[in-house]
């Protein structure tokens, strides 16, 4: 079992599994070794790195030191000036191109891992910076586009989507740019261990057997081990890779951590990973509508950190972009854009009358405007209707086609 501990807690007989820094920042020629004597212990404790990972299955455990864990990071003292949003239609074009570049990069990285090559995440650094800038310009664009993926694209675009969701959630939690970049990189690399999973199990179009699921459950540890040997990957990114399937009530895997035993980044990763998974089309099921996904996730008691989940809802909206909603007037609309000042009053596009059972001339309403009387009554399940053009209504599909063409 792997544990993250303070270097000052180490004793002779402990097996060090990895350091909380790049290998370039410590004097040891390898990350994994047994502390055999006092001389080696002194060398480790004087290396200047505050934390490391140990494997208690290969060596002794350490005395426990209870340290406070901060749930939500405080806003940075030198936060940059407030950024002005660009129009959503403009950012959709940029976001579509970024989505395509990021998917290609992840496809190459997964292929290299399958060939047994060392991970080189340097290309991801630039992509995460671009994701951060896109979220700063207008978060709705990339967050909504990253959700649109075919079953064949899922493995690669899931990493891109979770990266964007982590950055947006980090912003909502008050993290600064550097922390948001770390969160984004964690999202980009969180599922790397799936590259080592058997492809017939990973792409199986039906429910996994218990034996197959046990194999899939090894992907966090496999990914973490890969990242231990990768240069310039933060410990935060490694931790999210290892612990994004932990649950707040301690019923997750691989280590059944609970509550504040799970790092803030891993608690963020748990929410972002599940949201993108359940809203995406998979080989064995169609994705849920975004608003339905949030409703279902809210009902899973003990699964997520409640405060982190509440912030996540604020970051994507109560009715996320692309959601189908029913208005008080009986008309149906698709959500176009969030209103950060009032999440229950986004911009919507009216397009169908449930009373007449007929399409309407599309009409855009800003529900936050004082003169708009009609408001959202409830989310509406797309499965109850035969609409095949919802993504076109909010310009998502159009942006993707333009980026591909």
- Taking only the tens place, the pLDDT of each residue in 84-123 is 788 888 898 899 999 989 989 999 999 988 888 878 887 8
The arithmetic mean of pLDDT across residues 68-89, rounded, is: 56
pLDDT in tens, 156-188: 899 999 999 999 999 999 999 999 999 999 999
Residue-level pLDDT at 304? 97
Contacts for 375 with CB less than 8 Å, ≥ 6 apart: 327, 328, 344, 345, 367
Residue-level pLDDT at 78? 42
CA distance 205 to 84: 44
Residue-level pLDDT at 313? 94
Taking phi over 0 as left and psi of -120 to 50 as alpha, with beta for the rest, 109 belongs to alpha
Helix ranges (H only) for 24-87 are 38-45
The arithmetic mean of pLDDT across residues 366-370, rounded, is: 93
∠ Cα 300 262 59 (to 5°): 130
Sign of CA dihedral 33, 34, 35, 40: negative
Q: Please check whether residue 204 is in contact with residue 157, taking contact to mean a CB–CB distance below 8 angstroms.
A: no
CA distance 122 to 300: 37
Res 310 pLDDT > 90:
yes
Residue-level pLDDT at 25? 47
Q: Please check whether residue 367 is in contact with residue 361, taking contact to mean a CB–CB distance below 8 angstroms.
A: no
Helix count (H) and strand count (E) of the chain? 15, 9
Res 201 pLDDT > 80:
yes
pLDDT band for 47, please (50, 70, 90 cuts).
confident
Q: Mean pLDDT: which of 180-189, 197-206, 221-230 is highest?
A: 180-189
The arithmetic mean of pLDDT across residues 297-317, rounded, is: 94
Question: Strand 331-337 to strand 2-6: parallel, antiparallel, or no bridges (unpaired)?
Answer: unpaired
Q: What is the mean pLDDT of the chain?
A: 85
pLDDT band for 399, please (50, 70, 90 cuts).
low
3-state secondary structure of 5: strand
Please report the domains of the chain, with CATH numbers, ordered by start residue.
Answer: 2-55 (no CATH), 88-316 (1.10.3210.10), 324-404 (no CATH)
Dihedral angle, C-alpha 40, 46, 47, 50, nearest 10 °: 110
pLDDT in tens, 48-69: 777 888 888 888 887 654 444 4
pLDDT band for 249, please (50, 70, 90 cuts).
very high
Sign of CA dihedral 363, 369, 374, 378: positive
The arithmetic mean of pLDDT across residues 271-284, rounded, is: 88
Residue-level pLDDT at 79? 46
Residue-level pLDDT at 134? 94
Contacts for 232 with CB less than 8 Å, ≥ 6 apart: 22, 24, 121, 122, 125
Res 24 pLDDT > 50:
no
Which tokens in the block code for residue 106? 């992840």
Res 70 pLDDT > 90:
no
CA distances from 68 to 45, 65, 229 (A): 22, 10, 29
Residue-level pLDDT at 280? 86
Res 322 pLDDT > 60:
yes
8 against 194, higher pLDDT:
194
Res 226 pLDDT > 80:
yes
Residue-level pLDDT at 355? 93
The kind and range of the H/E element at 134 are helix 122-137
Q: In the sheet that 347-353 helps form, which strands lie side by side, from edge to edge?
A: 358-366, 347-353, 331-337, 324-327, 376-379
205 against 299, higher pLDDT:
299
Q: Please check whether residue 153 is in contact with residue 183, taking contact to mean a CB–CB distance below 8 angstroms.
A: no
Among 31-40, 131-140, 238-247, 263-272, whose mean pLDDT is lowest?
Answer: 31-40
Residue-level pLDDT at 267? 97
Q: Among 140, 156, 143, which residue's Cα sits nearest to residue 103?
A: 156
Question: Strand 324-327 to strand 33-34: parallel, antiparallel, or no bridges (unpaired)?
Answer: unpaired
Q: How many percent of the chain have pLDDT more than 70?
A: 88
């Amino acid at each position: 079992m792997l544990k993250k501990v303070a270097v000052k807690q180490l004793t002779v007989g402990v097996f060090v599994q990895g350091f909380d820094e790049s290998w370039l920042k410590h004097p040891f020629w390898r990350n994994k070794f047994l502390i055999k004597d006092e001389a080696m212990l002194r060398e480790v404790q004087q290396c200047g790195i505050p934390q490391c990972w140990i494997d208690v299955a290969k060596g002794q455990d350490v005395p426990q030191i209870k340290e406070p864990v901060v749930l939500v990071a405080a806003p940075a003292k030198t936060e940059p000036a407030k950024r002005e949003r660009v129009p959503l239609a403009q950012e959709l074009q940029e976001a579509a191109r970024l989505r395509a570049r990021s998917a290609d990069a992840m496809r190459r990285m997964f292929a290299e891992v399958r060939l047994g090559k060392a991970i080189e995440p340097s290309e991801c650094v630039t992509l995460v910076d671009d994701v951060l800038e896109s979220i700063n310009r207008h978060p709705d664009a990339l967050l909504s586009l990253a959700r649109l993926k075919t079953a064949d694209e899922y493995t690669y675009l899931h990493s891109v989507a979770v990266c964007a969701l982590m950055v947006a959630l980090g912003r909502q939690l008050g993290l600064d740019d550097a922390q948001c970049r770390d969160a984004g990189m964690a999202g980009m690399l969180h599922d790397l261990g799936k590259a080592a999973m058997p492809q017939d199990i990973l792409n199986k179009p039906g429910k996994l057997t218990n034996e197959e699921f046990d194999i899939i459950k090894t992907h966090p540890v496999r990914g973490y081990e890969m990242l231990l040997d990768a240069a310039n990957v933060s410990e935060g990114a490694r931790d999210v890779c290892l612990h994004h399937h932990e649950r707040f009530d301690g019923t997750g895997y691989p280590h059944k951590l609970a509550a504040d035993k799970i790092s803030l980044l891993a608690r963020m990763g748990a929410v972002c990973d599940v949201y993108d998974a359940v809203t995406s089309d998979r080989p064995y099921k169609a994705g849920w509508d975004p608003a339905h996904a949030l409703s279902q996730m809210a009902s899973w008691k003990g699964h997520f950190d409640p405060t982190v989940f509440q912030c996540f809802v604020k970051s994507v909206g109560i009715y996320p972009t692309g959601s189908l909603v029913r208005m008080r007037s009986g008309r149906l609309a698709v959500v176009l854009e969030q209103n950060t000042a009032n999440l229950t009053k986004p911009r919507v596009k009216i397009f169908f009358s449930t009373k007449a059972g007929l399409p309407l001339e599309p009409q855009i309403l800003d529900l936050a405007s004082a003169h708009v009387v009609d408001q959202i009554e409830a989310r509406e399940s797309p499965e109850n209707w035969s609409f095949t053009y919802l993504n076109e209504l909010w310009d998502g599909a159009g942006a993707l086609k333009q980026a591909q063409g």
